[in-house]
Chain A
């Protein structure tokens, strides 16, 4: 494999994006656990939706989760976000929050259900917590010039990790929004008033293992890893002799299967993951607009054993060797064709 500087910023960026996506999976899994698997919160919940897709007046919203309550006219819409230094990044986030604020219905068990009002939770990592208050609430919501004027202030919650637990903390700024709990029973608004909510990863690990995506564009490295380590082996079985197995992939078909098994993935997400595998010289496009993956154990000849790292590095270096090259060689030999490399050698000998 062509050498890649371990400090190559492109590798760092690929891994950072991968981890960011995984962190979002954690956070949405925490909220799903709180609203569906704890003692008293689930009693108030009519429906928790992890992959909401709400279309009102031809505008489609895909927040990270929604919570519909029994006998309560207010629903919660959750958005897990990161934003950059650029103003445009926060403007775009506020535009998204504004769309949520105007929703009049959210997903129920079967169909969307009408609601009177929305409370939005904006969940950010701790490094962006104060920044979010300042830039979303002060610089935009409070500013007469800015378009961001929701009916209800968003409730900004920051997350961190401390002593083996995720910590969710509502920022105590007076400008920050408050969640309106159902009048009956417990509510997370009361919990945040009382203190920080601490969740041990053990609690949500079953949810994370079973619904491994969030409702955003899936990180290509994350989905490529998922395909390589879960979807393909579950479909094709093993490769005990470690010979590469050709696996045909139709993006929309495989997206359907993953959706059924693990949650929201779109065929465009699958295409991006396959593009990454193609760059890694592990897949190729076929004439039918599909992909063909040469699947085998990637860790046998590499010092690196982590498939995530192997895929990331290969996608940046596109090495000539590997399962796809091996598969083509096997196929050439089987068809009696000595292949371009050997033909070139023959010419050279002449």
Chain B
């Protein structure tokens, strides 16, 4: 098994052999990659940043992976899961980044059936672990941070059109006469037309990465330290910001009600006559949940109950391009994260934020003169 692991998964093999329990030193990811991934033994490194609402995410991953041949080790604060899959053994590392944020790291590509298994575990481990979608601003932030190291060019884009959510892909070849577009140019080009799913990015000869809206990135080649310090750091920052936005949202008796969370769409989606029906239909596919419609027409008010932990959310569609979520007396970070992610991944969402304090309206704003 260890030989097979070594040939398939040099990073996993290195970590597995170096693991001496939770009391040991926690290595940095860069050190582990530098020590294991060589030009003779290259491999890509997949990272997925998730929000954690549990003291032991490793335990939750194991609970979610029932019926599989797994072995577990700890190396300092890092949790390691050796998965003896018949497609090939691999190690999944759970690397805590900061409070309530972890990177799931492996050498298995995201398109591999084994990674899809990891995705299922995370879904099953909800609300202890939850995925989230990056905002458009987060993607721009990664581009800006990477631009300190060279021109940030996009080689390939996959997106969904805002009109009918059909797939949209586009590639750019580099040539002597023409450079590929920058990340900022591509984001500007698709704004209002499509929402980004993935981007393949090259930063000169410094870094090649695959960036995903579902808060993930794959290191293809270049300087891993920059990948860790810029890309993973930006993903962790985005996760921490999202976590802060979603935490302590449950209502409390005798405390003022907080402003709702809003998910802003890239276009006036709800202007269409059948959009509300489609929205409700989409919510019915939110796993382990139920909904109750309080008001449907001409504006939508429903309550979504998460049967995983009892979180409940009064949800409104009261404008053409926003969904407003008012958490009830139980609202966990994991559940709210799962719920906002479900909406954001199924609709052309631009960002998730707290509703700004509304402007005070007066007679002239409210009274239509006869």
Contact = CB atoms under 8 A, between A and B. Distances in A.
A197 to B, nearest CB: 5
A206 B315 CA distance: 10
A37 B358 CA distance: 10
A238 B307 contact: yes
B366 A240 contact: no
Contacts of A240: 288, 307-309
Nearest to B360: A39
B298 interface: yes
Contact of B366 (A38, A202, A234): A38
Contact of A38 (B291, B310, B362): B362
Interface size class of A (residues with CB under 8 A): 35 or more
B328 A230 contact: yes
B312 interface: yes
A305 interface: yes
Interface string B279-310: 01000100011111111001101010111111
B312 A230 contact: yes
B67 to A, nearest CB: 16
A126 to B, nearest CB: 14
Nearest to A224: B292
B68 interface: no
Interface residues of B, number: 47
A305 B310 contact: no
B311 interface: yes
A162 to B, nearest CB: 9
Contacts of A191: 363, 366-367
B363 A205 contact: no
A203 B310 contact: no
B361 A39 contact: yes
A299 B318 contact: no
Given A297-B288, A306-B292, A233 B370 contact: no
Contacts of B362: 38-40, 186
A299 B284 contact: yes
Contacts of A194: 363, 367, 369-370
B70 interface: no
B324 interface: yes
A6 to B, nearest CB: 16
B301 A208 contact: yes
B329 interface: yes
Contact of A238 (B308, B361, B369, B370): B308
Contact of A196 (B288, B330, B367): B367
A228 B298 CA distance: 25
Given A210-B257, A238-B307, A239-B307, A308 B289 contact: no
A74 to B, nearest CB: 20
Interface in A140-189: 161, 164, 186
B291 A299 contact: yes
A90 interface: no
B284 to A, nearest CB: 4
Contacts of B299: 164, 201
Contacts of A235: 310
A233 B362 CA distance: 39
B292 A186 contact: no
B366 A237 contact: no
B370 A229 contact: no
Contacts of A229: 290-292, 303, 305, 312
Contacts of A26: 295
A206 B260 contact: yes
B326 interface: yes
B193 interface: no
A40 B363 CA distance: 8
- Which of A37, A186, A191, A240 has the largest count of B CB atoms less than 10 A from its CB? A240
- Which of A34, A37, A208 has the largest count of B CB atoms less than 10 A from its CB? A208
B1 interface: no
- Which of A34, A39, A229 has the largest count of B CB atoms less than 10 A from its CB? A229
22 contacts: A22-B294, A38-B362, A40-B363, A186-B362, A191-B367, A196-B368, A197-B367, A199-B366, A201-B299, A205-B301, A209-B301, A228-B292, A229-B291, A229-B303, A230-B328, A233-B312, A234-B312, A299-B291, A305-B284, A306-B292, A307-B291, A308-B292
Interface of A: 19, 22, 26, 34, 37-40, 161, 164, 186, 190-191, 194-203, 205-206, 208-210, 225, 228-230, 232-240, 242, 260-261, 296-299, 305-308
Given A186-B363, A261-B251, A305-B291, 20 more contacts: A19-B295, A22-B295, A186-B362, A191-B366, A195-B367, A196-B368, A196-B370, A197-B366, A198-B367, A203-B361, A205-B260, A208-B301, A210-B251, A228-B292, A229-B291, A233-B305, A233-B307, A234-B330, A238-B308, A299-B290
